Amino acid sequence: MTARSTRKPGVAILGGGSWGTTVASTCARNTATTLWARDPATAEEINTRHTNSRYLGDLALSRSLRATADLAEAVADADVLVMGVPSQSFRSVLEEAAEHLRPWIPIVSLVKGLEQGSRKRMTEIVTEVLPGHPAGVLAGPNIAKEIVQGFAAAATIAMPDHQTAVMLQELFRTSRFRVYTSSDVVGIEIAGALKNVFAIATGFGDGLEAGDNTRAMVITRSLRELAKLGSAMGGQFDTFAGLAGMGDLIATCTSPHSRNRRVGLGLAQGKTVEQVREEMGQVAEGVKSSAVVMKLAAERGVDMPIAAEVDAVINHGQPVANTYRGLLRQRPGHEVHGEAW
């Protein structure tokens, strides 16, 4: 067997935030990996100090990870492209990268959001911008700082062709970061986008000190809403009980590191969305996704009262204190078959 045939695929990861950097550091343990960071100072810090202090503090990254602020340099020789930029810049960054990218290479999204206006998933954008490139998603209950610290975690990689998912699985997994495979790209993408909206709802309750019972109730009923819309959009029902569904929902709704939960907490404490964003210095995808989710639900005739309450607070000025009052006024029906909350 020749050296060429045994060479591991090189990976380019676009996005120097917390999750893009974390995945890049993980991949760098397995194969040659280049991270594109928009800020040259961030790229320089990763190369010289092996940290990304803005997003991950002083946590040490893989010393074999290389970073650059030159997009063309990052992607020119890549065998796999991983997109870790926010959903609202996904299309523009991909279009910029397209002219430097080799044909037909797989593209994996790390993004848990939906595009404003078009309401498209990230893999649908890939298909529009780069037709012919296999497009998939990596998602799960993954708190970036914990993975960099080496705590055990798991995720699912979904590609339309399962053999491609199996090949990519080896690039992302380590002894403590378990990566499972799937072909349900739609279900995993929808779960990733919706769980952020529900984490805001959980944050409302935590900010109002509604208690553990309320938190459990909201998370459980949120999973029901997620599965209903995800199935209506073509996802496989079993996906929503897995890592990218229930697993990610639990992590995002309960972790103190969750940006979307922190948005809900801040709003419940009387802050504005802009104030919470400024304090965090990072994107919370659920803020943008809330209105998009409601439009998708309306198109498919899916009742989503918890998501509707988040949308009412984020986009229509409803006081947070009214959120749980509105939900509790609804008459409960059959837990599985009923339409009511």
Q: What would the two tokens of residue 61 be?
A: 């990254």
Mean pLDDT over 315-322 rounds to 91
8 A C-beta contact, residue 204 and residue 273: no
Mean pLDDT over 290-312 rounds to 95
Which pLDDT score is estimated for 176? 95
* 5 has a pLDDT exceeding 70: no
Report all structural domains of the chain as residue ranges with CATH numbers, in order of start.
3-183 (3.40.50.720), 187-329 (1.10.1040.10)
Which of the four pLDDT bands, split at 50, 70 and 90, describes residue 329? low
3-state helix, strand, coil in the chain (%, to 5): 55, 10, 35
**What average pLDDT does the chain have?**
92
Which of the four pLDDT bands, split at 50, 70 and 90, describes residue 1? very low
Mean pLDDT over 152-180 rounds to 96
Which pLDDT score is estimated for 215? 94
CB atoms within 10 A of CB 159: 25
Which pLDDT score is estimated for 285? 85
Q: Is 145 a catalytic residue?
A: no
Which of the four pLDDT bands, split at 50, 70 and 90, describes residue 318? very high
Select from 142, 132, 134, 133 the least CA-distant residue to 110.
Answer: 142
pLDDT tens-digit map of 254-267: 999 999 999 999 99
Q: Which of 112, 120, 195, 228 is catalytic?
A: 195
Which of the four pLDDT bands, split at 50, 70 and 90, describes residue 283? confident
pLDDT tens-digit map of 225-258: 999 999 999 999 999 999 999 999 999 999 999 9
Which pLDDT score is estimated for 4? 45
* 110 has a pLDDT exceeding 90: yes
Mean pLDDT over 267-296 rounds to 89
Place of tokens 């935030």: 17
Distance CA 227, CA 240 (A): 6
Which pLDDT score is estimated for 282? 78
- With b for 16 or more beta-carbon neighbours within 10 A and e for fewer, the 42-71 pattern comes to bbebbeeebbbebbbeebebbeebbbbbeb
pLDDT above 90 covers a percentage of the chain that reads 86
- The DSSP bridge pattern shows strands 135-139 and 153-158 to be antiparallel
* 47 has a pLDDT exceeding 60: yes
Query: Model-level pTM?
Result: 0.90
pLDDT above 70 covers a percentage of the chain that reads 94
Mean pLDDT over 264-288 rounds to 88
Mean pLDDT over 47-58 rounds to 97
DSSP string, 262-317: HHHHHHHTT--HHHHHHHH-S--HHHHHHHHHHHHHHHHT---HHHHHHHHHHHH-
* 2 has a pLDDT exceeding 50: no
Select from 221, 222, 219, 235 the least CA-distant residue to 300.
Answer: 235
8 A C-beta contact, residue 47 and residue 11: no
Which of the four pLDDT bands, split at 50, 70 and 90, describes residue 83? very high
